[in-house]
């Protein structure tokens, strides 16, 4: 059995970040004991807490550290909202590493309240442009302008990514836009869908405006397979989709580019729960499962997915958002134990490479 070592960046983040990342690392430790995959971690600092120390929420040395890795797990971070404050770390990293596809799955899970059974959809959100391009200014006192940039090139590559995904699943792609109002920008996005879909004749296309898409997601969530949309619409729709299958505590996201992958829970730093060991770590555990899939470690990823479903099916360990009273670390440990139970154990010791100062 050949063992491959992958270099992984870990950004614990802030608020509830370090707690959920700790639990996900328990699960990663467990899977390395029973599968041939090995991970070498480099831990980095990023988040609003860095601003006082470094003058930025994403220090240069953290970016350098990530450049020496294949993928990273990013914990949630707080984003300051004052005008002139730094951009969100997630948005900056997506831009630095050109992580153009934001992949957010939502599926019904056992013992997790879901609007309907049998939901299994993935939202693919364009991740590098639209209203998140950071082109916002005050043209005159009281007159704010934000540019919504949509290009053919960025639309085509994310649409191709979504078509490839749909082709591996149920061959259905819904494209969501507001082309009746944003005729130029969303006209470019729609044209990218029509052009790229010509190479995928087996894929059934569905055309939805964003407003009706939010309603249809509630009315018939089980009918969606892959949804592709622009940046802001995807951000909003994916939080809605997460809520439909049980809330932010179980929603994970992958940010994929041609050369790097960043994996994170969809939720933020939930400051009011900081340090309480209370929130659900499943979103972050699902994120590391997606990271292993991205790294080509399919068996390890499947093992984590099955262990999570088993713990939920048993229903003995559930965090507050799922109607239970278990702690973040209880859930992490329960999933890690299920991962470890399912295979023969090998020698393993966690490897953390100390970041250079
Ligand atoms: P949030 O996702 O942090 O929390 C909203 C609410 O969702 C929480 O109060 C809690 O009730 C619930 N929740 C979130 N995570 C949960 C979990 N793991 N288990 C159970 N319940 C959970 O959203 P917010 O309050 O709007 O944002 C807080 C901060 O996080 C802001 O600064 C925001 O900018 C930032 N944020 C960061 C990211 C990111 O790092 N990618 C994403 C979203 C928000």
Q: Which of 347, 334, 266, 223 is nearest to 102 (CA)?
A: 266
Spatial distance between the Cα atoms of 142 and 4, rounded to a whole number of angstroms: 56
Residue 222 exposed, middle or buried by CB count within 10 Å (0-12, 13-18, 19+): middle
Give the residue, out of 95, 232, 267, with the most ligand 1 atoms within 8 A of its beta carbon, to mutate for a pocket test. Answer: 267
Atom index in ligand 1 nearest the CA of residue 267 equals 2
Q: Give the rounded percent of residues in the chain with a pLDDT score beyond 90.
A: 91
Torsion of CA 222, 225, 229, 235, to 10 degrees: 50
What sign has the CA pseudo-torsion 258, 264, 266, 272? Answer: negative
pTM of the model: 0.94
Q: Which two three-digit tokens encode residue 99?
A: 């992580």
Question: Could you say which DSSP state residue 55 is in?
Answer: S
Spatial distance between the Cα atoms of 225 and 231, rounded to a whole number of angstroms: 19
| Per-residue pLDDT, 11 | 98
Confidence of residue 352 (pLDDT cuts 50, 70, 90): confident
- At 198, give phi and psi (nearest 5°): -60, -30
Q: pLDDT tens digits for 257-294?
A: 999 999 999 999 999 999 999 999 999 999 999 999 99
Q: Evaluate if residue 357 carries a pLDDT over 70.
A: no
The DSSP line for 155-166 is HHHHHHHHHHHH
Q: pLDDT tens digits for 341-351?
A: 866 767 788 88
Centre of ligand 1 to C-alpha 200, Å, is 37
Residues 6+ apart with CB under 8 A from 5: 38, 39, 40
Give catalytic residue positions. Answer: 132, 178, 211, 235, 239
Atom index in ligand 1 nearest the CA of residue 89 equals 40
- At 214, give phi and psi (nearest 5°): -65, -35
């Amino acid at each position: 059995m050949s063992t491959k070592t992958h270099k992984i960046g870990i950004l614990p983040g802030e608020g509830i970040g370090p707690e959920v990342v700790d639990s996900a690392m328990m699960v990663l430790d467990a899977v390395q004991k029973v599968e041939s995959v090995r991970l070498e971690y480099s831990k980095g600092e990023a988040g609003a807490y860095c601003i006082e120390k470094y003058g930025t929420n994403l220090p240069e040395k953290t970016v350098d550290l990530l450049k020496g890795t294949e993928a990273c797990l990013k914990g949630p971070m707080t984003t300051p909202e004052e005008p002139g404050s730094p951009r969100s770390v997630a948005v900056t990293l997506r831009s630095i590493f050109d992580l153009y596809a934001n992949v957010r799955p939502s599926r019904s899970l056992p013992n997790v309240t879901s609007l309907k059974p049998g939901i299994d959809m993935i939202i693919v959100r364009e991740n590098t442009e639209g209203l998140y391009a950071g082109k916002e200014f005050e043209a005159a006192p009281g007159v704010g302008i934000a540019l919504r940039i949509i290009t053919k090139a960025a639309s085509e590559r994310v649409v191709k990514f979504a078509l490839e995904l749909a082709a591996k699943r149920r061959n259905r792609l819904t494209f969501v836009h507001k082309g009746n109002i944003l005729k130029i920008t969303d006209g470019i996005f729609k044209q990218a869908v029509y052009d790229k879909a010509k190479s995928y004749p087996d894929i059934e296309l569905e055309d939805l405006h964003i407003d009706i898409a939010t309603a249809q997601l509630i009315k018939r969530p089980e009918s969606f397979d892959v949804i592709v949309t622009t940046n802001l619409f995807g951000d909003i729709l994916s939080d809605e989709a997460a809520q439909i299958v049980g809330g932010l505590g179980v929603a994970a996201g992958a940010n994929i580019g041609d050369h790097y992958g960043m994996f994170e829970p969809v939720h933020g730093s939930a400051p009011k729960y900081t340090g309480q060991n209370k929130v659900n770590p499943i979103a972050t555990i699902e994120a590391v499962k997606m990271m292993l899939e991205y790294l080509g470690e399919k068996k390890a990823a499947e093992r984590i997915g099955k262990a999570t479903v088993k713990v939920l099916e048993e229903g003995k360990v559930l965090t507050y958002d799922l109607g239970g009273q278990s702690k973040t670390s209880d859930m992490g440990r329960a999933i890690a134990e299920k991962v470890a139970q399912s295979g023969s154990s090998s020698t393993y010791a966690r490897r953390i490479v100390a970041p250079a100062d």
